[in-house]
């Protein structure tokens, strides 16, 4: 759990930091003050902390927004200390109801629902890991009087957090957040394991800077998503990568240049004929209001975009870096020849 806390701080993940610190604080409090009153308070406070972190936007663990969390957790620590020093009557059925107090059950259910809500529908590693850690904590607290089971599930909570934080950092390093495609680093890793039979394509969006300046960065991002989505549907085993800026790569392991070129020509054509609707400036953002006013005001713009593609394969003794350079040169020829074409 301490490792998870350090990773959350290092990667600046506020929710993970709150979850790890709350659970770690609960573990320490339970070991230092092994009383029913402290136990009951912990199984209420920890889920409430996690619920609050899920309802608030992610603002990091190392900035000013984290100061309020430190103050809250310090106040809870004082409350736990005072609770451990006084005698409380816990005979009421709601407080002695196994496995935790009724309020704790409600707090856990709300926190778990909020964690699932944060994870859905993308199911990224960290939100899923936070929900899993909370579930492991709940099971551990339900078996608080059984040391072996308690330790096993608390360890599981920590391991889940560590694994999800590492997986999240891996995705940030190897996957492009805008298009969802693997990034350039992932392509470089894949190139190291290639055999001698493959093809590589370099794809560039035509006049993208002019398009971006004319229609705005939001529309430019939509264009990149469109192109990335089309390239990700490549057949012949093709795998698309975001190479950088408006440039993409498509790797075809085990394919010839001719096979790759035919597949890329189909993709180029599909991108060319696609018409992307851009909302007019006076159109309401709400879908129901927009439906009522359909046909009124300025019509939506229909924009299209094209791409230029260069593709190459390995020659005698050529390395993948040489092939990428050859594909870049083919891309340059495609642009020089008028753009919106596949060149070899």
Residues 6+ apart with CB under 8 A from 22: 45, 46, 49, 50, 73
Residues 6+ apart with CB under 8 A from 77: 25, 29
- Token look-up 């850690």 returns 133
CA distance 173 to 80: 40
Phi, psi of 71 (to 5 degrees): -65, -45
Give 307's strand partners: 205
CA distance 246 to 220: 9
Question: Do the Cβ atoms of 102 and 94 come closer than 8 Å?
Answer: yes
For the annotated catalytic residues, the residue numbers are 246
Question: Do the Cβ atoms of 156 and 129 come closer than 8 Å?
Answer: no
Q: Is 139 exposed, middle or buried (0-12, 13-18, 19+ CB in 10 A)?
A: middle
- Token look-up 């929900």 returns 131
Q: Which two tokens stand for residue 188?
A: 């470089």
Q: Which two tokens stand for residue 296?
A: 């009124």
Q: How far apart are the first and last CA of the chain?
A: 54
């Amino acid at each position: 759990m301490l490792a998870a806390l350090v990773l959350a701080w290092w990667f600046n993940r506020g929710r993970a930091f709150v979850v790890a610190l709350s659970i770690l604080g609960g573990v320490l409090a339970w070991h230092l003050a092994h009383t029913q009153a402290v136990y009951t308070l912990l199984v209420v406070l920890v889920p409430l902390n996690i619920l609050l972190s899920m309802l608030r936007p992610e603002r990091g663990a190392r900035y000013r927004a984290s100061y309020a969390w430190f103050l809250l957790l310090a106040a809870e620590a004082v409350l736990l200390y005072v609770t451990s020093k006084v005698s409380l009557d816990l005979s009421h059925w709601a407080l002695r109801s196994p496995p935790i107090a009724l309020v704790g059950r409600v707090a856990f259910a709300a926190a778990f629902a909020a964690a699932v809500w944060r994870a859905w529908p993308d199911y990224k590693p960290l939100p899923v890991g936070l929900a899993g850690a909370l579930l492991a904590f709940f099971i551990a607290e339900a078996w608080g009087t059984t040391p072996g089971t308690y330790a096993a599930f608390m360890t599981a909570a920590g391991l889940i957090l560590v694994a999800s934080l590492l997986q999240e950092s891996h995705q940030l390093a190897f996957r492009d957040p805008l298009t969802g495609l693997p990034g350039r680093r992932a392509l470089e890793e894949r190139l190291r394991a290639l055999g001698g039979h493959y093809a590589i394509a370099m794809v560039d969006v035509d006049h993208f800077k002019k398009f971006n300046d004319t229609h705005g960065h939001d529309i430019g991002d939509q264009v990149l998503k469109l192109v990335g989505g089309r390239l990700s549907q490549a057949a012949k085993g093709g795998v698309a990568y975001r190479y950088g800026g408006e440039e993409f790569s498509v790797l075809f392991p085990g394919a010839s240049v001719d096979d790759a070129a035919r597949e890329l020509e189909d993709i180029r054509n599909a991108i060319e004929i696609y018409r992307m609707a851009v909302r007019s400036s006076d159109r309401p953002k709400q879908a129901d209001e927009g439906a009522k006013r359909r046909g009124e005001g300025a019509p939506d713009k229909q924009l299209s975009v094209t791409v230029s593609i260069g593709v190459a394969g390995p020659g005698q003794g050529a390395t993948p870096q040489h092939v990428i350079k050859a594909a870049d040169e083919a891309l340059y020829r495609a642009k020089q020849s008028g753009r919106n074409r596949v060149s070899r």
